[in-house]
Homo-oligomer: A and B are copies of this chain.
Amino acid sequence: MKSKRLGRQTVALSNPPAVIASANIGGKMEGQGPLKAWFDEWDEDSFFGQKTWEKAESFMQKKALQRALDRAGLSPEQIDYVFAGDLLNQCIGTSFGLREFGIPFYGLYGACSTMGESLALAALAIDGGFAERCAAMTSSHFCTAERQYRMPVPYGSQRTPTAQWTATAAGCAILSDAADDAPRVTYVTCGKIVDKGITDASNMGAAMAPAAYDTLRAFFRETGTAPEDYDRVITGDLGELGHAIVRDFFARDGIDLGENFVDCGLLLYDRTGQDMHAGGSGCGCAASVFNGYILDQLRKGVWKRIVFAPTGALLSPTSSFQGESVPGICHAVRVDA
């Protein structure tokens, strides 16, 4: 049976791939947060025993993939493709993290939407009959991201109130066409680049909110569903401000997103005990929350169906220096228990 295209952006998978295993890893802050119990591993050492933070980020990807493979009882040879990327220039977190596995690799750049993009493409590859098993993964590291996008960490520069904290974390999901009793990716909605002219690179939540609104609206329209049909509608790292903006956009359309509309960036850290300003961000934020807490709630049947819609800010320091605004993108997947 062919998958059904429900509209320009959404595909209803006819043989929804199962997420047969997942793994995540975090840093010190992530291990001290409210989702502590849902991390497979976390390390006080931001270097994870490596010589540089970049190597530490690659190490996190390697660990997450290896642990997910171990849980699935699979060797790297049994994975047909890995879809992955990260925030670093030329995605070196991924290329150096995955090079030893020898798995056919499609490299992605979706900024912090990468966990959504990788899940979407992995699910399509399996549903299309092109693969039996795929891995989807991504990572971020506070110190590599600060050095690259903003200031070196030792400089100690002050962060603005709208700034978010890049998570030091990685997450990996293994998808399979086998009929396991596991959460399944049932719908995939591909996002468009949306740019509403926000130029403040310290306010990424606001820059990404229009993309989240655009993709979620397309998802609900094309699937003929409403926010109340889901146990959770989960954005990736909009943070406090961006999340409120999306809620406001929907409210203007007469749609109340309600209490089930949550954000990985607001779940990952203690909003009062940990001073993360507007919340968490980074590819690893949505990736570690999805591959730990979210999948666990689905596996336990606490939630029956969710929408997972991480957003990415498609800027670079160079584009900001050149006065450009911040384009955003959001890729959504529906996952059923």
Contact = CB atoms under 8 A, between A and B. Distances in A.
A159 interface: no
A265 interface: no
Interface stretch (A34-42, A67-75, A301-309, A321-329): A321-329
Given A5-B129, A5-B130, A193-B99, A108 B105 contact: no
Nearest to A188: B130
A55 B327 CA distance: 14
A215 B81 CA distance: 14
Contact of A104 (B3, B80, B96, B190): B190
A91 interface: yes
Which 9 pairs from chain A and chain B are nearest by CB?
Answer: A128-B128, A95-B314, A90-B316, A104-B190, A109-B109, A89-B89, A99-B193, A2-B129, A107-B109
19 contacts: A5-B130, A8-B77, A8-B80, A11-B130, A81-B190, A88-B316, A89-B89, A89-B317, A91-B314, A92-B324, A95-B314, A96-B319, A96-B324, A99-B327, A105-B191, A106-B190, A107-B111, A125-B128, A148-B318
Contacts of A130: 3, 5, 11, 124, 128
B192 A316 contact: no
Nearest to A111: B90
Given A11-B130, A54-B319, A107-B314, 4 more contacts: A2-B129, A105-B191, A106-B108, A128-B128
A99 B195 contact: yes
Of A2, A107, A121, A130, most buried by chain B (CB within 10 Å of CB) is A107
Interface residues of A, number: 61
Contacts of A316: 88-90, 92
A104 B318 contact: no
A110 interface: yes
Interface string A259-297: 000000000000000000000000000000000000000
Interface of A: 2-3, 5, 8-9, 11, 51-52, 54-55, 77, 80-81, 85, 87-92, 95-96, 98-99, 102-111, 117, 120-121, 124-125, 127-131, 148, 190-195, 314-319, 322, 324, 327, 329
Of A80, A110, A193, A195, most buried by chain B (CB within 10 Å of CB) is A193
A192 B314 contact: no
Given A107-B110, A192-B105, A3 B128 contact: yes
A105 B318 contact: no
Contacts of A99: 193-195, 314, 327
B190 A105 contact: yes
B109 A85 contact: yes
A306 B97 CA distance: 33
A96 B252 CA distance: 29
A88 B3 contact: no
A90 B322 contact: no
Contacts of A87: 90
A92 B129 contact: no
B192 A102 contact: yes
Contacts of A120: 106
Contacts of A194: 99
A108 B107 contact: yes
